[in-house]
């Protein structure tokens, strides 16, 4: 069976979900693919309980709540989701780029009049530390994401890394864990200055242990349960840290997968777009969110939201060039 729709959106993260809403407001029907088995992208899969502070009108919102709200906002426009399915192939069926065939990994075939690629960083996974025997502890006492903050209550937690994720979770878990130790190979962290200042203030107060400059060197434990984490300095000094849990935060590995084969004008694993329309180098194909790039772009969720609106309006004009759109605010137009 071949489905027919106005727009196929590749990626059901926050930006992809908001693109459904923006397309719906312009009477464009959407089918949505995501390789994950749930909507929300990284916010839902990796950081559901991590607070986000830069969403307008939300002084603080958890990643899971943001994803849930965006999903609920899109539902009045009756999108069709193909979750747990990666788009394998796209094919331009006409010269103008107003008809595309999209084939998914489960055999779903869709003919769409345009595409929006909102695939974030593409397929992602954690950068694992090169520690012998780490596989035996993964999923039990070594975790690369925090899905439930409460599960760390009363535990000895070792966090490795120096970026925002490491610092933010150290600050958060210090409120409920028996002890939090942060291992980093240099005194300077790559986190927001205010967060780094709070971390060092807690360390000075004796609430958090900063194990610097050290790096992970080994794990001790049995039957999947850690007892200690071994660390070593560049000078060869060794320490053991009591640990129930190790959280290594060394970033994500990024893989565009089939997207890399679609002739979309890639620039350092990102898709170059026209800033005013989110259009790619191929007619009828648009890219938004973290996967899209242009000079001086800010990689923020709110930037992706703006790109979603631009793409939806550009698609409407592209598909109906003779039609004059009388722009209406949502406060006057409403939703279905």
- The pTM (predicted TM-score) of the whole model is 0.76
C-alpha separations of 76 from 23, 70, 72, 91, 199 in Å: 12, 11, 8, 30, 43
Q: Got the DSSP string for 23-90?
A: HHHTT--EEEEESSSSSSHHHHHT-TT-EE--BTTBSSEEHHHHHHHHHHHHGGG--EEEET--EEEE
- What domains does the chain contain, in order, with CATH numbers? 2-124+252-333 (3.50.50.60), 128-248 (3.50.50.60)
Q: What is the pLDDT of residue 124?
A: 65
Cross-strand partners of 209: 181
Tokens 């930037």 correspond to 303
Q: Quick one: how far is CA 53 from the chain centroid?
A: 15
pLDDT in tens, 250-280: 977 767 889 999 999 999 889 999 999 999 9
How would you class 39 by CB atoms within 10 Å of its CB: exposed for 0-12, middle for 13-18, buried for 19 or more?
buried
Above 70 in pLDDT, residue 73? yes
Helix axes 14-25, 63-74, angle to 10 degrees: 20
pLDDT in tens, 102-118: 999 999 999 999 999 99
Kindly indicate the confidence band of residue 331, based on its pLDDT and cuts at 50, 70 and 90: low
| Bond from prior residue into 213 cis (ω within 30 degrees of 0) | yes
What percent of the chain has pLDDT above 70? Answer: 96
């Amino acid at each position: 069976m071949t489905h027919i729709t106005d727009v196929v959106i590749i990626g059901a993260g926050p930006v992809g979900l908001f693109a459904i809403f923006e397309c719906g407001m312009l009477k464009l029907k959407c089918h949505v693919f995501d390789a994950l088995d749930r909507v929300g992208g990284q916010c839902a899969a990796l950081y559901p309980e991590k607070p986000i502070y830069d969403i307008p009108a939300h002084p603080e919102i958890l990643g899971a709540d943001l994803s849930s709200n965006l999903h609920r906002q899109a539902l009045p426009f009756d999108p069709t989701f193909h979750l747990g399915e990666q788009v394998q192939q796209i094919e331009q069926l006409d010269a103008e780029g107003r008809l595309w065939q999209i084939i998914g990994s489960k055999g779903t075939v869709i003919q769409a009049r345009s595409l929006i690629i909102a695939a974030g960083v593409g397929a992602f996974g954690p950068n694992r530390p090169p520690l012998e025997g780490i596989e035996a502890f993964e999923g039990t006492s070594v975790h690369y994401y925090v899905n439930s903050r409460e599960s760390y209550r009363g535990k000895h937690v070792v966090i490795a890394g120096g970026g925002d994720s490491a610092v933010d979770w150290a600050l958060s878990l210090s409120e409920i864990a028996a002890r939090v130790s942060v291992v980093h190979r240099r005194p300077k962290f790559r986190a927001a200055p205010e967060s780094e200042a709070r971390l060092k203030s807690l360390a000075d107060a004796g609430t958090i242990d900063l194990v610097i400059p050290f790096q992970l060197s080994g794990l001790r434990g049995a039957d999947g349960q850690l007892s200690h984490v071994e660390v070593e300095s560049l000078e060869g000094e060794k320490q053991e840290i009591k640990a129930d849990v190790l959280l290594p935060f060394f970033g994500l590995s990024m893989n565009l997968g089939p997207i890399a084969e679609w002739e979309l004008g890639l620039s350092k694993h990102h898709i170059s777009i026209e800033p005013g329309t989110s259009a790619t180098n191929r007619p009828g194909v648009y890219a938004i969110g973290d996967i899209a790039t242009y000079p001086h772009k800010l990689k923020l969720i709110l930037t992706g939201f703006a790109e979603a609106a631009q793409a939806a309006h550009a698609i409407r004009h592209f598909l109906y060039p003779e039609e004059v759109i009388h722009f209406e605010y949502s406060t006057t137009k409403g939703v279905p």
